[in-house]
Each structure stands twice: as C-alpha cells, then as structure tokens.
Amino acid sequence: MSCVDKFVDKIISADNDYQELDRVFLYNQICALVGDDNHQDGSDLKESLIQTAIKNKLIDDSQTAKEILNDQLMSFLTPLPSRVNQKFWNLYQKSPESATNYFYQMSQDNDYIKVKAIAKNISYQTKTDYGNLEITINLSKPEKDPKAIAAAGKNKQTGYPKCQLCLENEGYLGRLDYPARSNHRVIRFTLGGQTWGFQYSPYAYFSEHAIFLNTKHVPMVINQHTFNNLIEITQIFPQYFVGSNADLPIVGGSMLSHDHYQGGKHVFPMMKAPIDRPIEIGVDGVDAGIVKWPMSTIRLTSKHPDELVKAANLIHEYWMNYSDKSVNVVAHTGEIRHHTVTPIAYRSQDKYVLDIVLRDNQTSAKYPDGIFHPHADVQHIKKENIGLIEVMGRAILPARLKDELKEVERYVLGLPNQMAEYHKTWADQLKQKYDFTSDNVSEIVEKETGLVFARVLEDAGVFKWNATGQRAFDKFIESIH
C-alpha cells in the first residue's frame, strides 16, 4: 500500500468531514500535492509524503516549502471551521472546559500547535525575593530560512493577511516570508458586543496558551472597554487567566498593530505573589493592595465585575496623567504619551481579580533603550521588551543562550571556551562569588540567570522596592482620591 493510500485511510478514520465515498477524491488531491510515485516507507507517514514531494520535485527541499506542505496535509485531518465551531459550542453547553479541551487537543493533533518543537524549550524555576520565577529558553521557533528570506525580498508584498493575528490567516497557505496556516482554525465568539476570535499560539509559552483576537485589524488600546473585555473573557472561560499587553512601544508586546489578548491555563508567579500592603481606592466592594512584585502592581479583587472595572479605570485614568520627577516618572513629553498599564484578569474562587501593572516608556540619554526597560548590564541575558508573559514572571529568553551559557560554564571553570565578550563582566562576578566545580557549575549558572531576570523585572518596575520608590508609590495611590 502506498503512503498516499495509508494517509487517505487516516483521513477517513479521523473526526473530520470526509467519508469512504470521498476516497478517490482524496487520493487524487494528495497525489496532486506529493506526486504519483509514492511508495516510500517510513514510520512517520507525513514525513514520507513530504519526502515523496521532494523526490518528485513538487516542492524544494527547504524548511519553508516543507512547512507549507505539512500544514496542507494536516488540513485534510482537520474539520472545516464551521464544524469546529459547531462542535466547540455544543461541548460548551456541557462545560467551558470540555470545549477548550476539545479545541486544544485538536490543535495539537493536527500539528497547528508545534508540540515537538515546544518540547525542545529549556524550562526551570529560580528562587528569588519575589517567589519562584519561571525561566525558559525559547528553542521552539525555527530560525528564518535564509533562502526564503532572500526569495521573499524579490516578491511583491500583497498585504494579505495584514498581520499574523488577522482572521484571514485561517486556512492561509503561507508563503516564503509568511507562516503556513492551512490547518489553522479559529473559534468565533461575542465579546463586548463585537465578534472576536479565539485560537491557540502555535509556539505556546505555557499550558493552553490562548490568543483572543479582534476580527478587525485595529491597533492595541487600553481603556475601560479593555477591562470590561478581560473580565468578560474570564466569565466565558472561567478556567483561564487573560491579560493584555500594553499599548505603547518599549513596554508593549510585539504586535501593537492588532488588538488582542493572551490567556490560558497557567498560574504565573505574579499571581501567587502576596499583597505587601492594602490600599484604599475609593470604590465600594473592591479590595485593593500593592503586590510584593518587582513591577509596580496593584491588585483589585471583587465579587462585582462592574465595580472592579470602575476601580481599574480610575487607576488607569490617574496614571495616564501622573508625574513624579523625583523618581523619573513623567506622563508626557509634549504631546507624546508615556504612561499605560498591563492588565491581567483571572478568577479566584467566587471573586474576580484584576492586576494592574503600571508602565512608563520614557527613554533618556543614560537609558536610550528605556528608563524602565532592562538596563545595559543585564542585556547580555535579556534585551527585548518586557511584555505580558514576562511581566507575570515567566522569562522568554533567546535561543542563543543555550550555547552561550555553556561557554560561560567553561569560562568560570577555567576551561578553553568561546564565551561571548558581553558575558564577561557577569561571568567574572560569578567567579568571585562561587567556587565552581564540574558538579555545581550548571546549577549555579541556571540560578544566576534567573536572578538576572529578577533584575530585569526590577529595571522595568516604575516604583522601586526601596524606601524612596515605595513612598512614591504610596504618593500616587493618595493622588487617586
């Protein structure tokens, strides 16, 4: 039996839209993609089909071409969007978790969520003054294909889809400079009176990493409507947290051009952090406190969603125009706005929780990358923007560190090494601090990398955890009344 025949068997037996009557049609459709000479053997049926297509010269032996064909093949195993949505909302009547369990499993089974790639990520925890921070080195996203980059530069840009979060990605073939999405499906739901989409992240950073996206390509914005939407999502999906990246560069995420939120089934270190001291916001039915966390966070808790949104909006409005030059906090430079928030919503038993993280995106001569951004001495570990996930205490560190930290280990052990020069100051400090051996070096370097991430978060914190910073934080709280 050919690999195409075997794959057709798999399609027909799957939970999708095809039946035995469709066998000849499916055979011809798959042959059109991989070619007629398809008697390759192998334990991985999909890989055999991809190699068949290369052998038959229907695709190049390139990463991009293989990804596009992979997702085309997996689309045959995936129900149509209408059917996925129908099944999701039918299961939702049983429970929200039944619906998300189905959709999450399907998104893994059809290789939309890159399970094998995600498994390559390095992940561990580091104990700090703020609890156990989560450290990950992101190895799952493939490196850009140089051939694809070169070829894409010669191609005319279509502007379709407008970005990788647009609804138009559902079923999109992909191209040299754009990811394949043939097997991508999006759940539609109503949020704030508008149609939104719900999907999972292909390269998930945590369990059930969900994305909630506006079906219109409109920019990120933080306002009262945002707080309402976040609370409403926790009502629709009570098992998930949900948060929004800030709506300004430096302190925002990487996709400011499309309004969206991130969520999922994960309890982040920030969510476990205790209240340092209670505060009074002046909204009945809402408990408020300053969280013991490196980034300046106000936690609001209430059984009453409307009152919670009212309190969040009050903090936001005051913060947008609040300045305290004694701690470098400046709301505006002329017409340029510097202040925004990173809000995170979740459920705690019968209450709603809304964490409001204060953000300031100023730059200065001393800190050209951002006054409240990782400073130069920690950028050897992390120099990218501190977005929603990292705000909550989960580091997404660059893939380069996998090999670079091994060279740091060799350096501190006095072995021949190729350590990057930008790690030298840090590595020398570690040599002064520890007596390294081959048995302890990896554990110490991991721990110290985690402590650098704690410093990264402290740099991004507006009101520092010292007497001056906390007095300034209290002063801001008092200004709200």
pLDDT of 379 over the 90 cut: yes
Of 18, 41, 58, the one marking the end of a domain is: 58
- Which long-range contacts (C-beta less than 8 Å, at least 24 apart) are formed by 35-41? 38/2, 38/3, 38/4, 39/2, 39/3, 40/3, 41/3
Residues 280 and 373 in one domain: yes
Confidence label for 179 from pLDDT (cuts 50, 70 and 90): very high
pLDDT of 105 over the 90 cut: yes
Residues 399 and 283 in one domain: yes
- Percent pLDDT > 70 in the chain is 95
Residues 49 and 133 in one domain: no
Return the exposure string of 116-146: e unless at least 16 CB atoms fall within 10 Å of the residue's CB, then b. Answer: ebbeebeeebbebebbebbbbbbbbeeeebe
Decide if 229 is inside a domain.
no
Summarize pLDDT for 306-322 with one digit per residue, the tens: 999 999 999 999 999 99
When pLDDT is averaged across residues 129-146 and rounded to a whole number, the result is 83
Decide if 449 is inside a domain.
yes
Decide if 370 is inside a domain.
yes
pLDDT at 154: 57
Q: Which domain holds residue 52?
A: 1-58
- Pick the range with the lowest mean pLDDT from 108-122, 134-148, 379-393: 134-148
pLDDT of 176 over the 90 cut: no
When pLDDT is averaged across residues 37-64 and rounded to a whole number, the result is 87
- What pTM did the predictor assign? 0.94
Decide if 372 is inside a domain.
yes
Of 30, 58, 86, the one marking the end of a domain is: 58
Residues 476 and 354 in one domain: yes
- Pick the range with the lowest mean pLDDT from 33-42, 75-84, 348-357, 384-393: 33-42
Decide if 112 is inside a domain.
no
Confidence label for 331 from pLDDT (cuts 50, 70 and 90): very high
Residues 304 and 435 in one domain: yes
Residues 315 and 420 in one domain: yes
SS3 of the chain: CCHHHHHHHHHHHCCCCCCHHHHHHHHHHHHHHHCCCCCCCCCCHHHHHHHHHHHCCCCCCCHHHHHHHHHHHHHHCCCCHHHHHHHHHHHHCCCHHHHHHHHHHHHHHCCCCCHHHHCCCEEEEEEECCEEEEEEECCCCCCCCHHHHHHHHHCCCCCCCCCCCCHHHCCCCCECCECCCCCCCCEEEEECCEEEEEEECCCCCCCCCEEEEECCCCCCCCCHHHHHHHHHHHHHCCCCEEECCECCCCCECCCCCCCEEEEECCCCHHHHCCEEEEECCCCCCCEEEEECCCCCEEEEEECCHHHHHHHHHHHHHHHHCCCEHHHCECCEECCEECEEEEEEEEEECCEEEEEEEEEECCCCCCCCCCCCCCCHHHCCCCCCCCCHHHHCCEEEECCHHHHHHHHHHHHHCCCCCCCCHHHHHHHHHHHHHCCCCCCCHHHHHHHHHHHHHHHHHHHHCCCCCCHHHHHHHHHHHHHCC
pLDDT at 253: 75
Residues 328 and 251 in one domain: yes
- Pick the range with the lowest mean pLDDT from 39-53, 404-418, 421-435, 465-479: 39-53
Residues 481 and 389 in one domain: yes
Confidence label for 159 from pLDDT (cuts 50, 70 and 90): confident
**Domains in the chain, number:** 2
Q: How far is CA 374 from the centre of its chain?
A: 19
Decide if 343 is inside a domain.
yes
Residues 15 and 135 in one domain: no
pLDDT at 157: 59
Confidence label for 473 from pLDDT (cuts 50, 70 and 90): very high
- Pick the range with the lowest mean pLDDT from 57-71, 228-242, 248-262, 263-277: 248-262
- In angstroms, the CA 357 to CA 298 distance is 6
pLDDT of 388 over the 70 cut: yes
Place of tokens 């798999």: 10
Residues 317 and 426 in one domain: yes
